[in-house]
Amino acid sequence: MADVKKIATRESYGNALKELGETAKDMVVLDADLAGATKTGVFKKAFPDRHFDCGIAEANMMDVAAGLSTMGLVPFASTFAMFAAGRAYEQVRNTIGYPHLNVKIGATHGGISVGEDGASHQCCEDFALMRTIPGMTVLCPADDVEARQMVKAAYEMKGPVYMRFGRAATPVIHGEDFHFQIGKGEVLAEGGDVAVIATGIMVPEAVEAAKLLAEKGVSAMVINMATIKPLDRDLVVAAAKKCGRVVTVEEHTILGGLGEAVCGVLAEEYPVPVKRIGVNDEFGHSGPAAALLAAMGLDAAGITKTTLAFLGK
């Protein structure tokens, strides 16, 4: 995919905030001293009076966002996923989730593709943490186009939203005619031997894996599941009925994330064999993003190898 345009979804987040801010006058953006890294600095430059740097105090930032939302504003609280979901979990749960406030959380630098920052900053537990908060919508875009539309959709819905964006540049797989809907998955490739359900930057890898699988005589359906919660249950069940076997792929621990969400639906409605591909029960490591993904079997080659083994090929 060397000739494909690549953009980090954190860049998309910053650009979407600025674009949305032109018309959404009730929108404010908060940051925890990371405006350059989270790309909210783009919004700050355009609308300095609506950007608030809360300093390296993520828990306090979430409380400030909660308070602003009670005044009729729509706050986007932004920091690294490790700090948004991890350090500030109690505030997100009790101050935003419990009263079901209209706060949007923009969590950048999710997953092991944070790279050289190492395990302390590689948040691979955020889906699991945020999924357990009642009423929290959890989103993760596949590329620039979907990320920009996701920010707008989050603004338009009422209630708390957690959005994960990546540090590493990822291929743009959608055209500008794409339309994102919260709670709806998207079939990117048709197939009948196995359904590969992926989220975030794993989606382009899953698309490439489907091509490699085709060379081995395996027809794979590829689904982009950008909404982790609420999951598109109908599409998950339909894919299982058509293919009989399901593989999930996420840049997240296999505990509590997309894979377990899919398994929960299928266990209740249409049990089939499922293979979860993700970060196994371990912390990440420091190194280049691409090398880390390959080492953990999260690149196209790794997904292909694991899927073939799962199918007994």
Catalytic positions:
58
Supply angle C-alpha 268, 274, 275, rounded to 5.
145
Closest CA to 130 of 165, 98, 162: 162
Q: What are phi and psi of 37, to 5 degrees?
A: -75, -40
Closest CA to 200 of 266, 289, 312, 117: 289
Which residue type occupies 62? M
Q: How far apart are alpha carbons 267 and 237 in whole angstroms?
A: 10
Contact 241, 110 (CB under 8 A): no
Q: How far apart are alpha carbons 84 and 37 in whole angstroms?
A: 14
Q: How far apart are alpha carbons 206 and 211 in whole angstroms?
A: 9
Closest CA to 78 of 115, 99, 50, 118: 50
